[in-house]
Chain A
C-alpha cells in the first residue's frame, strides 16, 4: 500500500512540476520555433556550454513522458490491487487514475492539452491490441463457434444500432429530451457508434472473471468481428447525414448493404493475404533469425493500415492476419523468435491498453466537451443495457435450435452483461464532424458516460454476478480425501471421454479442411522441416519401443565395445528429442491444454504449510496426517484440462508448470504403455491384431550393420521416425514371428539373438533421413525419471547380453 501511494504521489509531483513548465515553456517557445537557429545566432555572445533544447525533442519527449506515466500508473494500479481486495477491475482503476491525472493537467493548464485524439488511438494504440488478441486466439475454438460469433457480431450489432437509434429518436420526438438540433439519421449514426462491443474492454474485464471457454470465445469473437459492421454502419450513416434526408432512396440503401459485404469481406481477405505474405516471409528467414520477429509486427501493422487506406475494415484485416498466420509463423520461426514475439506482443498490448484507459480518464476532464442532457444520457444508458439483453436472448434462442451444445441461460446472462463499450466508441464519436452534427459534444459526453458505466460499474459487478449465478459449490475444506480424489478423477475422465468423442465438431467438413490444409497450405507456408516435425514426434513416441532401440544400439555398439558412450549419447539425444518434442507438443496442443494464469499457481503455493511435507510414518498424530494428506492432494494432483481452461489473458501466457506437468504425465503414460506392451509380449497372450502392412517389405530389407561413427547416434534417432515413416509398428511388435530367434533379446531369458538377424528386420537408413530430428534443444528441466530409469534398467540387462552377442557374432 505504501509503495502504491508513494508512486501516485511521485507521479503527481512529477506531472505538476515537470511537465507543466514544459508545456508553458512550449507555448512560449512556439514563436521562436520557426527560427531556432536564427534566434540562437542572434543572442550568441559567448560559447554556450549547455543549452536547453526543448523544441528539438518536444514531441518525442511528450510521448515518452506519457508512456512512462502510463507505466507508472499500471504499476501503482497493480500494486493497489494486490494489497486491496481486487474489486474494481484494473481498467476501471486506470480510468479513475486518468481522472486524477487529467485533473492535475487541467489544474495546471486550464485546458486539456493531452486528449485522446482519434488518429492517435486508431493508428498507434489500437492495432497492437487487436494483433495481440488475434495472434493468441484459440483457433479451433474460434472457428467451431464461428457461426454463433458471426450471428452475434452482424445481426446483434445491427439490432443494437437500430433499436437504440430508433428508440432514442422516438423519445426525442416524444419530447423527453428537450430541444436538440438532431434528426433521425443522426440518432441512427449515434446508435451505430454506441452499439459496438469493444474488444479492449471485454478482455480487460473478462480476464479477471473465469468463465467457460465457449462463453468467452463468443463474447470475445463478437467484439472482434463486429468492427466490420460498425465501420460500415458508421460510414453509411455518416454519408447519409452528409447527403441529407431527401436524397436517400432505395439505391443508396442498397449501396449501403453492398458496402457491408465489400468492407467486411474485403478486410478479411486482405488480412488473410497479409498472413500468407507473413508466413512465406518467415519461411525464408532461416539465415536472419534475429529479425524475423519484427516481421510479424510490421506486416500486421501493414495489414491494418492498408485496409484503412482502402476504407475496408482495418480491425478485421489485422484480426484475420493474426489468426491465420499464427500457426505457420510459430512453426517456421526459431524458438527464440517465437518467444520474442509473444513477449513483445504482450508488452505492446498491455502498454496500449493502459494508455487507452488512462487517456479515457484524462480526456474526461475537459470543460469544453461536456454537454449534459439528462434525458439523452439516461435513456441511452437504459436502452443500451436493455437492448443488449433482449438482443442476446433473442439471437441465442434462435441459435440454440441449430447448435449441438445449447448456450445456457446463465451464459446468456453473462454474455449480455458483458457487452462492454470502450474506447472504439469514443474514438468514433470524436471523429464526428461538428458541422454536420451539431450535437457532437453531447454525443461525446454520452459516449464517455456509457463507457465509464460499462467498464467501471459493470466491471465491478461482473465477478460477483458470475459467482452468484454459478451452481452452489461444495466448500473445499469439507471434502473428504476420497471426494477430492474422485472429483479430480472425474475431471480427467470427462476430459478423456471428450477427446474420444472428438468433441469439437469432428465432421466431414473439418476433416476435409484439415486434409486440405495439411496437404496444400502447409506445403506452401510452412518450412519443410517444420512440417515433418509436426506429427512425427508424436508418432514416434506413440508406436515406439525405445527399449528395442536401446538394445539395437547396445548390440551394434557391442561390436565396437563402446556401448556405454552410445547409450549415454542415445539417452542424451532422446532426452533432447523428447524435450524438443514437448516444446512442439505444447505449442501444437496449446489450445487443448489451455493456459491458466498465475493465479492458480500462486494460490496453491500459498497453501503450502510451513511444515515440511516429509511424512515419515508412524510417529505422526492422526490430525497432522490428515492435513498433510489434504495438502498433498491439493498440491500434487495433476490438473485436468478443465483447470487449464483456455483463457486469453493480456498479461500471462502458458506457464512452464503446465508444460512440466504435461510432460510428466506423457512420460508416465508412454512408459506404462511400453511396459504393458512388454509384458504382453512376454508370450502369455495370443497375437494381438497389429497391423502388418509392410511386413513383407521389411523382411527383405537388409540393415547395414550400423556405422560406428558419430552419425550413428543421429541415425538412431532417425531410425525411430523411420519405422513410423513406413507406417508400420516396430517390427519387433509384429507378433508371431515364427522363429524364436527373431524375438528381441529381452524377451528371451536365455537365448541371445544374432544381431545380423535382428538387423535384417530394421529398415535401411538413407542419407536424407539423417538429421531429421535436429535441431535439438537442450532443456534445463531434464526428463529424469523416464529415460534414465529405463536406461539404467536395461544397461545392466544388456551388458550381459552384449557379451553373448559379441560372442555370437
Chain B
C-alpha cells in the first residue's frame, strides 16, 4: 500500500522504533494516527491536557497517574517515540522470540511490565513504595465510603504481607515477589497491540 510506506517515511527514526518496541508497521501507523488525533493542535507532541481530553480517562480512578507515567520527570511533553515506547509495555509477550544473550530485554517483558506498574505506585521514584504512596493509591481506588482509618489499616496489612525485609516499604523485588502467582503477561497486555 503506497500510503503505508509514505506515512512510515514521515515518522523519523521509524526503523529504530520498530526494532526497539517490536511493533509492526501497521501498528506504528495506527499509533501515529492516534497520536495525531490526540494532538489536536498539531504541535507534534502531547501535553497533559491532550490526555485529559480523553473523556474515558476521567472515569478511571488512576487515570491521572497513568497520564503522568507518560511524562518523564521534568518533561512537559511527550513525543511520538516516547508515546510508542510506553505503549510497547503493553504488547503481549512474544512467546517464540529467540533468546539472544546479548540483546537488551524487550520492552514488553514481564519484568518491564512490572516496573511500569511499580512506577505508577512509586511517585517519588525512590525505588520503594512507602506507606504514604500506598495510601494514596488505595484512596484513589477505593470508594468514598471507606474511612481514613480503614484505609490505613488496609495499607498496613498490605505492607505487612509484602514487606520481607521489614523496612515499612515495598521495594521492587518484594513487589515482584508478591505478584509471582499473577499472570502478568495476561493482565498487562492489550491484544490488539500484538
Contacts and interface: CB of A to CB of B under 8 A. Distances in A.
Contacts of B147: 614-615
A480 B141 CA distance: 17
B57 A482 contact: no
Contact of A672 (B64, B170, B183, B191): B64
A482 B161 contact: yes
B192 A503 contact: yes
A254 interface: no
Given A489-B137, A613-B150, A632-B150, A669 B58 contact: yes
A495 interface: yes
Contacts of A665: 58-61
B64 A483 contact: no
Contacts of A636: 142-143, 145-146
A394 interface: no
Contacts of A506: 30, 33-34, 37
Contacts, number: 188
A538 B58 CA distance: 10
Given A625-B153, A661-B143, A669-B64, A499 B120 contact: no
Contacts of A533: none
A179 to B, nearest CB: 54
B16 interface: no
Residue of A593, A640, A669 ringed by the most chain B CB atoms within 10 A:
A669
Contacts of B140: 668, 672
A501 interface: yes
Interface stretch (A59-67, A328-336, A352-360, A687-695): A687-695
B187 A498 contact: no
Nearest to A403: B192
Residue of B26, B120, B137, B150 ringed by the most chain A CB atoms within 10 A:
B150
A405 B192 contact: yes
Interface stretch (B47-55, B93-101, B103-111): B47-55
Interface in B17-58: 26, 30-31, 33-34, 37-38, 41, 47, 49, 51-58
A541 to B, nearest CB: 8
A255 interface: no
B62 interface: yes
A711 to B, nearest CB: 30
Contacts of B193: 501
A572 interface: no
Interface in A617-645: 617, 625-626, 628-629, 632-633, 636-638, 640-641
B179 A494 contact: no
Nearest to B142: A636
B57 A405 contact: no
B9 interface: no
Contact of A494 (B161, B181, B188): B188
Interface string A640-668: 11000000000000000000011011101
A548 B182 CA distance: 46
B164 interface: no
Interface string A535-575: 00010011100000000000000000000000000000000
A613 B31 CA distance: 46
A482 B158 contact: yes
B8 interface: no
Contact of B58 (A480, A490, A542): A542
Contacts of B153: 615, 617, 625, 628-629
Contact of B146 (A498, A617, A632): A632
Interface string B160-194: 01100000001000000011011100111011110
A754 interface: no
A499 B142 contact: no
Interface string B116-127: 010010000000
Contacts of A404: 26, 30, 192
A502 B154 contact: no
Given A492-B60, A496-B60, A638 B143 contact: yes
A502 B34 contact: yes
A554 B64 CA distance: 30
A493 interface: yes
Contact of B178 (A482, A489, A511): A482
Nearest to A729: B49
A251 interface: no
Contacts of A664: 143-144
A690 B179 CA distance: 40
B178 A480 contact: yes
A637 B149 contact: no
Interface string A576-597: 0000000001000100110000
A492 B41 CA distance: 28
B77 interface: yes
A542 B58 CA distance: 9
A613 B149 CA distance: 11
A670 interface: yes
B158 A481 contact: yes
A629 B52 contact: no
A777 B81 CA distance: 46
B32 to A, nearest CB: 11
B59 A662 contact: yes
A487 interface: yes
B76 interface: yes
Nearest to B143: A636
Given A489-B120, A661-B143, A673-B52, A616 B149 contact: yes
A471 B186 contact: yes
A298 interface: no
A497 B87 contact: yes
Nearest to A676: B64
Contacts of A487: 182, 187
A599 interface: no
Contacts of B33: 506-508
A493 B145 CA distance: 23
B25 to A, nearest CB: 13
A617 B149 contact: yes
Contacts of B38: 500, 502
B181 A481 contact: no
A297 B38 CA distance: 40
A499 B57 contact: yes
A490 B66 CA distance: 11
Given A502-B37, A625-B157, A497 B90 contact: yes
A629 B58 contact: no
A511 B60 CA distance: 24
Contacts of A471: 183, 186
B70 to A, nearest CB: 8
Interface of A: 404-405, 471, 474, 480-483, 485-503, 506-508, 511, 538, 541-543, 585, 589, 592-593, 613-617, 625-626, 628-629, 632-633, 636-638, 640-641, 661-662, 664-666, 668-670, 672-673, 676, 688-691, 785
12 contacts: A480-B161, A489-B117, A489-B137, A490-B188, A492-B141, A493-B188, A494-B190, A496-B62, A501-B193, A615-B150, A668-B61, A669-B64
Given A585-B55, A615-B147, A617-B153, 16 more contacts: A471-B183, A480-B162, A481-B157, A482-B161, A482-B170, A483-B178, A485-B158, A494-B90, A496-B56, A496-B60, A589-B56, A589-B59, A625-B153, A629-B157, A636-B142, A676-B64
Which 5 A-B residue pairs are closest in the complex by CB-CB distance? Answer: A499-B56, A636-B143, A490-B187, A496-B66, A405-B192
